[in-house]
Chains A and B, each alone.
Chain A
Amino acid sequence: EAGVTQFPSHSVIEKGQTVTLRCDPISGHDNLYWYRRVMGKEIKFLLHFVKESKQDESGMPNNRFLAERTGGTYSTLKVQPAELEDSGVYFCASSHGRGGREQFFGPGTRLTVL
């Protein structure tokens, strides 16, 4: 069984540009989460999908961030326009069911905004 995959692994862009991160969860996992770790700080929750519906996007920093999960399969996270403080590692995780179920994480996308 394939794990959670994320693309790209690294992205370096200039301030003001747009970047789209992709996450492919484990097949059959309805729950998909995005997290972000800014250097040296804790990994912070961004948002949660159940299938194609956003259940909780309370962690999204601002309206420059847009997440989608069309068809309830893969998800994209777009940052437009990117700012310096958006640099960090963006993790995606998926789980089957909730109630404290284990979340399986992808390797993350390291985003650097210059």
Chain B
Amino acid sequence: AQKVTQAQTEISVVEKEDVTLDCVYETRDTTYYLFWYKQPPSGELVFLIRRNSFDEQNEISGRYSWNFQKSTSSFNFTITASQVVDSAVYFCALSEAWGANNLFFGTGTRLTVIP
């Protein structure tokens, strides 16, 4: 069965600090996809990144970076030089490569960036 664990319920950082959001997953599939979504106060889930299980290269997009390690079943997300606009709930999710492709979500991490 698929499971995603985000052990950090809430994190607070001061603006310009770096912060890493942890995500650990479980799956028996050899092919799967991992996602990060951001939920700002407005409520919608905003897609940030998708990574397939065969691509372990880390990715950087501006101040955002992702570290995918199959050996530890982790897909961590780092925000560099955090800004107040980064305050949101962040969800990590997993989907199978086949079937319905529905997403299995973690419980989310609420990030508060203090000015």
In the complex formed, the residue of A with least CB distance to B5 is A42
Q: Which of under 10, 10 to 19, 20 to 34, or 35 or more describes the interface residues of B?
A: 20 to 34
Q: Mark A58-91, 1 if CB is under 8 A from B, else 0.
A: 0100000000000000000000000000000101
Q: Is B66 an interface residue (CB 8 A)?
A: no
Q: Most B CB atoms within 10 A — which of A33, A42, A44, A59?
A: A42
Residues in B neighbouring A41, C-beta threshold 8 A: 107
Give the shortest distance, in Å, between A44 (CB) and chain B (any CB): 7
Q: Is A55 an interface residue (CB 8 A)?
A: yes
Q: Is B62 an interface residue (CB 8 A)?
A: no
Tell me, in angstroms, the Cα distance from A98 to B103 when the chains sit together: 11
Q: Is A12 an interface residue (CB 8 A)?
A: no
User: Given A100-B95, A105-B44, A108-B43, A56 and B37 touching (CB < 8 A)?
Assistant: no
Q: Are A100's CB and B52's CB within 8 A?
A: yes
Q: Are B42's CB and A107's CB within 8 A?
A: yes
Tell me, in angstroms, the Cα distance from A95 to B95 when the chains sit together: 13
Residues in A neighbouring B104, C-beta threshold 8 A: 42, 45
Q: Is B64 an interface residue (CB 8 A)?
A: no
Residues in B neighbouring A3, C-beta threshold 8 A: 44
Q: Mark B25-56, 1 if CB is under 8 A from A, else 0.
A: 00000001101010000111111001010000
Q: Mark B97-113, 1 if CB is under 8 A from A, else 0.
A: 11111111111100000
Residues in B neighbouring A59, C-beta threshold 8 A: 102
Tell me, in angstroms, the Cα distance from A103 to B107 when the chains sit together: 18
Q: CB within 8 Å of B: which of A1-39?
A: 3, 31, 33, 35
Tell me, in angstroms, the Cα distance from A61 to B65 when the chains sit together: 36
